[in-house]
Structure 1
Amino acid sequence: MTSYVALLRGVNLGKRQLKMEDLRRIAGDLGLENPSTYIASGNLLFASEKSETALKSALEASLAAHMGAPVGVMIRTAAEMAAVAAACPFDVPGNRAVAIFLDAPPPADAAEHAKNQANEEIALGGRELYVHYPDGQGPSKLGLPAAAKGTARNMNTVAKLAELAMGKA
C-alpha cells in the first residue's frame, strides 16, 4: 500500500466550492484507504495500491461528475512530497515560496517565458516549478505559461502534507 497526496487545482476559489467532507466521501467511494484532507484548498491524503495514472483518472472523473466541470488533480507519493519539500532551492520563510505541481517535468526554458516578472525567483524541479515571492504571492503579477495546468502550494503546506503523508505509510 502506497501513501499518496492528491492536490486539486482551482477548487474553493470563487464559485468552485468543494466541501472537504465531499472530497473524503468521493475518495472513500473510489476505494481509497484512510482518506483525509488538510485545509480547505483541495489536499487529499490517502493510501492505495493503484498507480498514479489510475488514481488521477479516477479522481478527475469523479470530481468532474460532482462539480459539473473538470478539476485537475496532481498526484504525489508521500516520498515524492517529502522530496519536493526538501528540494526547495530558496532559504526563505515557507509562506514566501511555492511549489507549483505539474504532471510532467517543466520545460527547461520555463523561467525564460515568465511574464510580468519583477523580483520573483523561479527554479525548476522534477515535476515542479519553485517560485520565491519576496513581496508575497498576492501582489505579484507573475505569469508562468508552463504552470497553466499546475497547482501551487506554499512550502509550509508542502512540508505539512509531506509529514502527514509519511505518517500514513
Structure 2
Amino acid sequence: MTTFAVFLRGVNVGGVKVLMKDLASLLADGGFTEVRTLLASGNVVLESELSEAQAVQRRCNELLEERYGRSIPTLIYTREEILQLAQPFVLELPEPAAEHHGYLTLCESAADAAELCELARGLDPQPAVDVLGRALCWIVRKGQSTTDPLAKLTTAQARKRVITTRNHNTLVKLAAIIR
C-alpha cells in the first residue's frame, strides 16, 4: 500500500458542496483504505494499492465525477512530497511574523510551479516567492489571503491549470497524519 494526499481544488464546485464525511465514504467505497480528512477544505490522506499518483488522481476524479455529476479536479501528492512541504517554511516571514502566513500553491507539475513563480516575480511590488517541488511558496499578511495581488494571480491561474492553495500549517498537519 502507498500513502497519498489528495487535494480537491475546491469543495464548493458550481453549487455542489462536497462534505468531508461524504468524500471519505466515497473514496473508501471506491477502493482506497485508511481514508482520513483534514479540515473542511478538501484535504485527504489515504492508502492505495495503486502505486502511481496519476492513477490515484484518475480514480479520484472518476469517483467524484460519478458521484457529483461534474468534474472536480484533484491534485495527488506522495507521502515524500508532503513531508518535504511540511518542513520549516522556505521563506522567512516578515516581522511581526505572527501577522503573516506561509502559503503553498500546489501544482500538477514542477513546470507549473516554476511558471507561477515567474508570473509572481512580475508583480509590483515583487512578492517573496520560491518553488519547492511542485509548489509555489509565498507569504501573505493575515486577513489578505484573497485580496493580496499574488492571491489574485493564483485565482486567475486556477482557471487555466489545476492548482490549489493551502496554508503551510495545513501541510504540517497532513504530515503528522502521514507519519
Give the TM-score taking structure 1 as reference length.
Answer: 0.85
Q: Distance in 2 between the 1:100 and 1:40 partners?
A: 18
**Structure 2 unaligned residues grouped into runs of 5+:** none
| Mapped contact 2:7–2:75 kept (Cα < 8 A) | yes
| Mapped contact 1:120–1:133 kept (Cα < 8 A) | no
Q: Distance in 2 between the 1:19 and 1:109 partners?
A: 32
- What residue identity is the alignment partner of 1:37? T
**Structure 1 unaligned residues grouped into runs of 5+:** none
Higher relative contact order (CA 8 A, sep 6+): 1
| Mapped contact 1:6–1:76 kept (Cα < 8 A) | yes
Structure 1 window deviating more from structure 2 (88-97 vs 26-35): it is: 88-97
Using a 3 Å threshold, how does the CA distance of structure 1 residues 79 and 14 change in structure 2: closer, same or farther?
same
Residue of structure 2 in register with 1:138 after alignment? 146
Residue of structure 1 in register with 2:132 after alignment? 125
Alignment of 1:78-89 (within 5 A): 78-86=79-87, 88-89=89-90
Give 1:149's match in structure 2, choosing from 124, 148, 162. 162
Query: 1:42-75 CA distances to partner (integer Å, 9 max, x unpaired)?
Result: 0111111202111100000111122222111111
Structure 1 window deviating more from structure 2 (8-17 vs 20-29): it is: 8-17
- Matched residues, percent identical? 26
Structure 1 window deviating more from structure 2 (121-130 vs 111-120): it is: 111-120
Alignment of 1:17-96 (within 5 A): 17-50=17-50, 51-86=52-87, 88-92=89-93, 96=101
Using a 3 Å threshold, how does the CA distance of structure 1 residues 87 and 24 change in structure 2: closer, same or farther?
same
Between Structure 1 and Structure 2, the one with more strand by share is 2
Q: Over the residues paired in the alignment, what is the CA RMSD in angstroms?
A: 2.4
Deviation at 1:151, TM superposition (A): 0.8
Task: State yes or no: 1:105 paired with 2:110.
Answer: yes
Q: Distance in 1 between the 2:105 and 2:135 partners?
A: 5
Query: 1:109-154 CA distances to partner (integer Å, 9 max, x unpaired)?
Result: 5333237554632211211111111353133132046664201110
- What residue identity is the alignment partner of 2:106? F
Q: Distance in 1 between the 2:106 and 2:125 partners?
A: 22
Instruction: Give 4+ residue runs of structure 1 displaced > 6 Å after superposition.
Output: none
Aligned length: 166
Give the TM-score taking structure 2 as reference length.
Answer: 0.81
Alignment of 1:152-167 (within 5 A): 152-166=165-179
Q: Distance in 1 between the 2:116 and 2:81 partners?
A: 21
| Mapped contact 1:106–1:126 kept (Cα < 8 A) | no
Give the secondary structure class of the aligned counterpart of 1:161.
helix
